[in-house]
């Protein structure tokens, strides 16, 4: 297939991935297979895809800025952990074989989906224990535990990133009392931070593995997709959004287990 045919298809994959990433996560499962299908080596595809998707994360985070209002304390605790994890994961990508996370990733995605589904029930039980007290963000030891888990997910995000957003939504659904839309806004900020620091790490360490044409095509599509995804996702009810996360995550899980 000639480049002139490939380029619009790569840009379209970037748009779809940017839209999925903002609403749910796992857009990499669209762009990465597209690039490998067109013959790009896995490392080049992974690195170039990661850099290109940063634009979609930025536009999606901007679209969810209202949901991030009042979350400054949680952001201050979680964003540095996510960024450090992203750097560590990007370095691991350059040191470990591509199959290193192959067996554990499906288990992580499945666990994330379980947490997304179980989150409301867990929160209801917590609210009953609080006997009607006002929902409060995690503090102290609990906040440190959430930050440690986010750091671990940041490592995975910097390494590959597929379904990282689903895992973060699942984690925060269980461990915080925030609404699903607020959690989605936090997810967009954290995953964008991971992608950004991983992108900088790749540019510093492995510049020769970057295909800048691919980066430009995915960035153009993903930035537009991020804006579209934010407008669409913010209108969804919690039940519909949770259902969409489960459907997309289930498809990603089947793809990982049976077609990887």
Question: pLDDT tens across 193-248, in order?
Answer: 999 999 999 999 889 989 999 999 999 999 999 999 898 888 877 677 677 767 76
In the predicted model, what is the mean pLDDT of residues 150-168? 82
Residue 215 to residue 47: CA distance in whole angstroms: 9
Kindly report which listed range (92-96, 150-154, 241-245) carries the lowest average pLDDT score. 241-245
pLDDT of 21 reads 85
| Count of CB atoms situated within 10 Å of the CB of 9 | 15
Residue 241 to residue 247: CA distance in whole angstroms: 10
Q: Which residue has the higher pLDDT, 124 or 6?
A: 6
pLDDT of 248 reads 67
pLDDT of 23 reads 84
Q: Considering the entire predicted model, what is its pTM?
A: 0.79
Three-state secondary structure call for residue 162: coil
Q: Which residue has the higher pLDDT, 109 or 8?
A: 8
**Given a cut of 70, is residue 94 above it in pLDDT?**
yes
**Given a cut of 80, is residue 172 above it in pLDDT?**
yes
H helices present in the chain, as ranges: 3-23, 28-37, 42-63, 65-68, 72-95, 104-129, 140-159, 164-175, 180-205, 212-233, 238-258
Q: Which residue has the higher pLDDT, 169 or 225?
A: 225
**Given a cut of 80, is residue 9 above it in pLDDT?**
yes
pLDDT of 143 reads 85
Report the chain's mean pLDDT, rounded to a whole number.
82
Q: With bands split at pLDDT 50, 70 and 90, how would you rate the model's confidence at 30?
A: confident
Q: With bands split at pLDDT 50, 70 and 90, how would you rate the model's confidence at 189?
A: very high
**Given a cut of 90, is residue 126 above it in pLDDT?**
no
CA angle, 200 then 50 then 28, to 5°? 160
pLDDT of 31 reads 86
Question: Do residues 197 and 87 touch, judged by C-beta distance below 8 A?
Answer: yes
Q: Rounded to 5 degrees, what are φ and ψ at 131?
A: 55, 50
**Given a cut of 80, is residue 123 above it in pLDDT?**
no
In the predicted model, what is the mean pLDDT of residues 49-78? 91
In the predicted model, what is the mean pLDDT of residues 70-98? 87
pLDDT of 105 reads 63
């Amino acid at each position: 297939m000639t480049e002139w045919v490939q380029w619009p298809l790569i840009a379209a994959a970037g748009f779809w991935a940017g839209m999925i990433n903002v609403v749910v996560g796992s857009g990499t499962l669209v762009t990465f297979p597209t690039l490998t299908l067109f013959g790009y080596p896995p490392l080049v595809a992974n690195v170039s895809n990661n850099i290109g998707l940063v634009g979609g994360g930025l536009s999606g985070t901007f679209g969810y800025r209202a949901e991030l209002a009042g979350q400054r304390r949680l952001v201050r605790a979680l964003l540095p952990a996510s960024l450090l994890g992203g750097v560590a994961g990007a370095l691991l990508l350059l040191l470990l074989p591509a199959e290193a996370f192959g067996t554990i990733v499906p288990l992580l995605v499945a666990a994330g989906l379980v947490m997304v589904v179980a989150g409301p029930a867990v929160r209801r039980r917590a609210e009953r224990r609080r006997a009607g007290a006002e929902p409060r963000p995690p503090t102290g030891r609990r906040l440190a535990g959430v930050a440690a888990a986010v750091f671990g997910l940041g490592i995975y995000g910097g390494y590959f990133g597929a379904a990282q957003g689903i895992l973060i939504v699942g984690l925060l659904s269980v461990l915080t009392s925030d609404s699903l839309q607020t959690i989605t806004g936090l997810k967009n900020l954290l995953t964008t931070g991971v992608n950004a620091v991983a992108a900088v790490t790749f540019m510093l360490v492995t510049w020769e593995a970057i295909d800048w044409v691919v980066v430009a095509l995915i960035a153009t599509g993903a930035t537009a997709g991020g804006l579209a995804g934010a407008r669409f996702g913010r209108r969804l009810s919690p039940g519909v959004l949770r259902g969409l996360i489960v459907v997309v995550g289930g498809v990603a899980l089947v793809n990982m287990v049976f077609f990887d």
